[in-house]
Structure 1
Amino acid sequence: MSNSPVTAARWHRPLVGLAAVMGVLTIVALVGLAVDDRSIGGSPAWLKPCKFAVSLGLYALTLAWLLRFVHRWRRTGWWAATVVALASAGEMVAIVLQAVRGRPSHFDVATPFDAMIWSLMGATVMVLWTASLVVAVVVAVQRDSDPVVRSAARLGFALSLAGMMLGFLMTQPTDGQRIELDNGGAPAMIGAHSVGVADGGPSMPLTGWSTTGGDLRIPHFAGIHALQALPLLALVLALLAARYPARFGAVRTRLRVVRVAAAGYAGLVALLTWQALRGQPLLEPDALTLLSAGGLAVVVLAGLALAVRGRAEPITQSRVLQNA
């Protein structure tokens, strides 16, 4: 994003360190999946640590890459990203601790200790979200960076932060839990991933997403990883600009493509959220969901066709390739 080789060489060390630890933890979790036959809430005990390690590792590397090119508010961005790294590490400590104990890391209020862990995780997520917002603002105010990657990062951050917020839908009591609370009971769990069915039922391999009901983890996951998808699209467009300058050489063309893709991605996250809230499994969409998905696909494809219409002036070299 920047032409400064000095700045471009500076990776945010706490985030890189976090990514390295998440890589090691992923290997540990994979070993755990192979040798530990315990299950927690119907899923293998080490599945959640594995998924979170991969997700947080990717998130940390993405932030570290984006921060390489920050000139304005550099110190603010550095400290905010350090808070992100610390909060992410704290979240993983809680998840691994509960996996070792054989207890759910989310929604578990069965004992005072479990309730404390869950409460601390909720507070940590809010810190993580706020610090990520600060990093997003710092990246957004840069002016001497590639405009296409900058736009992709801004839109990716917006969708990622929205995806994080979708996680709070899972913390609401289910109908059964609400009835128990209203009757003066003390349910062991408050909140759930699934909608319309109990957590721990039949699920998809690898992801653990429900195959019999809605699952709010799906839009949560999709939204968060927009921060990887959209900047990656910007880099792909840079490659296309170098290979097909007449079509993708103009910055305005690539900007239009990124914006259309971001709008389509937002529509997808909204569609996945709507599907999950209706208690509908991802792989068993009804006619209304299929019709909506088809309409979204048509609109996005039409938008992309309009975005690349005409011929752009050739360029000699892509700024993104220079700076990636």
Structure 2
Amino acid sequence: MIEGTLNFIKELKIRNESLFYFGLFCLSLSIIFIFLTKLTTTQVHGVNAWFKPLKFAISIGLFAWTMAWYCHYLSNFNVTPFNWTVIILFGFELTYIAFQASKGQLSHFNFDTPLYSILYSLMGLAAVIVTLYSAYIGFLFFTQSFPNLPSHFIWAIRLGILIFVIFSFEGALMSSQMSHSVGAINDNSNWWIIGWSKTVGDLRVSHFIGMHALQLLPLLSFYLFKNTKATIIISLLYAVLATTTLVQALNGKPIFTQNKQKESK
């Protein structure tokens, strides 16, 4: 296990040194943010202010490492512009989220001042640009051939990127209503880091599930399914799961309904 992890890290660095170090930086920051959640009681919408930068640091770090691994398979693809797009835009996003957390203020849905409005809009633009670039990479995976790689693994990457792109754009839905909740304003729970609402619909559930198809589907296909048909079927079921949780949230229902029978007695 340890040897396998070390070999993966060495190979990742060889494949894409820029995104390797950026991902390592983000994941290292996440450790700092964990300590900050224990050292401060500052809250935003009822949860520790440092949970948001912690979640984004982990997510961005995993994205950087994942795309660094996948892009290595593409032929005639200049990865340098993509690297700097990710590093600059996601670096800006993470910096702003952490800065606002340090002040105990919102980074998302914050239009309190003209400056905050501009910075929030720039965060949204950054996410859109990276997502569109990722969609282009997904297009290349659909159009190129990979004779040296298992078909099931390639299909997992293709469908993983496709689902990732679709549910990345779900962020626009949250921005349009200035809240990640349906039935309340930015409702959170005490579910440690994720903080998904236990009382109303939460758009972050499908956003999370859909975006992490990028990592989960290729891993399952490569290590578990090892079959193209099975990979496609599981990927479709995964997309149905993400869509179902989206519909559930839009109907104002939490992912898990609390038992209120005791309260009525």
Measured in 2, the distance between the counterparts of 1:9 and 1:44 equals 34
- Would you say how many aligned residue pairs link Structure 1 and Structure 2? 247
Measured in 2, the distance between the counterparts of 1:196 and 1:98 equals 26
Q: Which residue of 1 aligns with 2:194?
A: 207
Measured in 2, the distance between the counterparts of 1:50 and 1:136 equals 27
Measured in 2, the distance between the counterparts of 1:278 and 1:41 equals 22
Superposition pairs for residues 36-51 of structure 1, below 5 Å?
A: 36-51=40-55
| 2:89 corresponds to 1:116 | no
Q: Which residue of 1 aligns with 2:231?
A: 258
Q: Which residue of 2 aligns with 1:222?
A: 209
Q: Kindly state the Cα deviation for residue 261 of structure 1 after the two structures are TM-superposed.
A: 0.4
Measured in 2, the distance between the counterparts of 1:151 and 1:82 equals 27
Q: Which residue of 2 aligns with 1:237?
A: 224
| 2:1 corresponds to 1:14 | no
After superposition, the C-alpha distances for 1:230-265 in whole angstroms (9 at most, x for unaligned) are 100121137xx6xxxxxxxxxxxx000000001101
The one-letter code of the counterpart of 2:73 is F
SS in structure 2 opposite 1:74? Answer: coil
Measured in 2, the distance between the counterparts of 1:271 and 1:192 equals 19
The one-letter code of the counterpart of 1:284 is T
Note closer, same or farther for the CA distance 1:85–1:147 as it changes in structure 2 (3 Å cut).
farther
SS in structure 2 opposite 1:283? Answer: coil
Q: Kindly state the Cα deviation for residue 18 of structure 1 after the two structures are TM-superposed.
A: 1.5
After superposition, the C-alpha distances for 1:131-163 in whole angstroms (9 at most, x for unaligned) are 212222333324233211111000000000011
Q: Which residue of 2 aligns with 1:136?
A: 138
After superposition, the C-alpha distances for 1:29-85 in whole angstroms (9 at most, x for unaligned) are 101100011001222110000011111111111111112222x2221x442243123
**Is the contact made by 2:128 and 2:169 (CA closer than 8 Å) also made in structure 1?**
no
- Any unmatched runs of 5+ in structure 2? 1-10, 260-265
SS in structure 2 opposite 1:118? Answer: helix
SS in structure 1 opposite 2:82? Answer: helix
Note closer, same or farther for the CA distance 1:104–1:283 as it changes in structure 2 (3 Å cut).
same
After superposition, the C-alpha distances for 1:166-208 in whole angstroms (9 at most, x for unaligned) are 11110123xxxxxxxxxxxxxxxxx001110222454423211
Q: Which residue of 2 aligns with 1:74?
A: 77
Q: Which residue of 2 aligns with 1:53?
A: 57
| 2:181 corresponds to 1:198 | no
Match for 2:160 among 136, 145, 156? 156
Note closer, same or farther for the CA distance 1:98–1:216 as it changes in structure 2 (3 Å cut).
same
**Is the contact made by 2:188 and 2:195 (CA closer than 8 Å) also made in structure 1?**
no
Identity in percent: 30
Measured in 1, the distance between the counterparts of 2:71 and 2:135 equals 14
**Is the contact made by 1:159 and 1:226 (CA closer than 8 Å) also made in structure 2?**
yes
SS in structure 1 opposite 2:15? Answer: coil
Measured in 2, the distance between the counterparts of 1:63 and 1:277 equals 30
**Is the contact made by 1:43 and 1:200 (CA closer than 8 Å) also made in structure 2?**
no
Measured in 1, the distance between the counterparts of 2:92 and 2:139 equals 23
**Is the contact made by 1:80 and 1:135 (CA closer than 8 Å) also made in structure 2?**
no
SS in structure 2 opposite 1:102? Answer: coil
Match for 1:282 among 233, 255, 258? 255
Measured in 1, the distance between the counterparts of 2:37 and 2:154 equals 39
**Is the contact made by 1:18 and 1:57 (CA closer than 8 Å) also made in structure 2?**
yes
The one-letter code of the counterpart of 2:214 is L
The one-letter code of the counterpart of 1:168 is A
| 2:13 corresponds to 1:26 | no
Q: Kindly state the Cα deviation for residue 211 of structure 1 after the two structures are TM-superposed.
A: 0.8
Q: TM-score, normalised by structure 1?
A: 0.72
